[in-house]
Amino acid sequence: MNIDLSINTDLARKILAGFLKSEITRVGYSRAVINLSGGLDSAVSCALAVEAVGAENVLALRLPYKTSSPDSLEHAQWLVDQFKVRCETVEITDMVEPLFRLDPEMSKSRRGNVMARARMIVLYDRSEVFKALPIGTSNKTEILLGYTTMWGDMASALNPLGDLYKTQVRQLARALNIPQPIIDKPPSADLWAGQTDEGELGFTYDEVDKLLYLLVDKRYTVQDCIEAGFDKAFVDKVVGRVQRSQFKRMMPPVAKLSNRTVGYDFLYLRDWGT
């Protein structure tokens, strides 16, 4: 079965840059700030922000930990040079080490979550200084799989990539002239040495994006997906991940007591009055 996730990148650029520009300026801001990891997603978010508000209004943050790959820092620098955005580098080592020292048994994933949240703290702090809105970098694949840290890398004011699968972000990256080594390298959160997304997930983005596209976009049932040629165990695993991570895609539910409750029947868009 031919499952085509190709997108018209001109159209995507136009809509996503328009979205960023509209949603930044309508609340009285003119600037964007982005955690630039050196990876694909943040590179694309950064390039879109430049199209939306201009390079002089984009601040890229490089936030390495002591064991972060030197390549990540260098790749982020390539992007800063290419797109001519402002850049600050803040090491998070001194922020997170005191917490790590309290619990020498802390697992890799816990340490990874702490680092992701430390980066969020810097992102929001710098956003106040630079008078900018924090731009997100989470793509549709990782949002659906819950392969992300709540209040960490998921945190942002606006997310231009959340409706593009990873393989679609890669298409957009090519159109935006992101350097080829950044597009080609194995996706990684770089929270510990040798970590890769696909190694942790146990499947490739190419495979899972096609499956998610059928399940989510095309409303296929599990049985439809198996009939389309996907392995049952793989489908079950992915469906289970999506279901178990629903909590990550929602604001915490408010326990209803009154006649009008935030989240249930107090309904306004964020763009209310703008």
Partner 1 sequence: MQINLALAQIATKLGDVQCNLEKHLDFIKQAKAQKADLVVFPELSLTGYVLQDLVPTVAHKPVDDDPIFQPLLKASQNLDLVVGFVDEDPGHRFYISSAYLSGGRVLHVHHKIYLPTYGLFDEGRFFAHGDSIRAFDTRFGRVGLLICEDFWHASPPYLLWLDGADILIFSSASPGRGLNAHDKLESAWWVENVNQSYANLFSSFVVHSNRVGFEDGLNFWGGATAYDPNGERIAHGPYFEEALTMTTLDLNQLRRTRSRLPLMRDERAYLVQRELNRILSK
List of residues contacting partner 1 (CB under 8 A): 4, 6-8, 10-12, 14-15, 18-19, 22-23, 163, 265-274
We find the least distance from the C-beta atom of residue 269 to partner 1, in angstroms, to be 5
In the chain, the DSSP E strands lie at: 32-35, 58-62, 86-89, 133-134
Which residue's CB is nearer to partner 1, number 101 or number 260? 260
- Spatial contact of 27 and 274, defined as CB atoms under 8 Å apart: yes
Encoded tokens for 139: 């793509």
Instruction: Report, in Å, the least distance between residue 171 CB and partner 1.
Output: 10
Amino acid letter, residue 103: D
Q: 60 vs 176, which CB is nearer to partner 1?
A: 176
For partner 1, the closer CB: 16 or 122: 16
Q: Residue 8 Cβ, how far from partner 1 at the closest point, in Å?
A: 6
Q: Can you tell me the distance from the alpha carbon of 17 to that of 48, in angstroms, rounded to the nearest whole number?
A: 5
- Residue 166 near residue 142 (C-beta atoms within 8 A): yes
Tell me how many helices (H) and strands (E) the chain has: 12, 4
Least separation in angstroms between CB 168 and partner 1 = 8
Least spacing, CB of residue 44 vs partner 1, in Å: 15
Residue with tokens 């917490």: 99
DSSP string computed for 108-140: HHHHHHHHHHHHHHHHHHHHHHHT-EEBP---H
Query: Minimum distance between the CB of residue 175 and partner 1, rounded to whole angstroms?
Result: 12
Measured from the CB atom, is 65 or 213 closer to partner 1?
Answer: 213
Supply the Cα-derived Rg of the chain in whole angstroms. 19
DSSP, collapsed to helix, strand or coil, labels residue 71 as helix
- CB of 9 or CB of 245, closer to partner 1: 9
Q: Which is nearer to partner 1, 8 or 223 (CB)?
A: 8
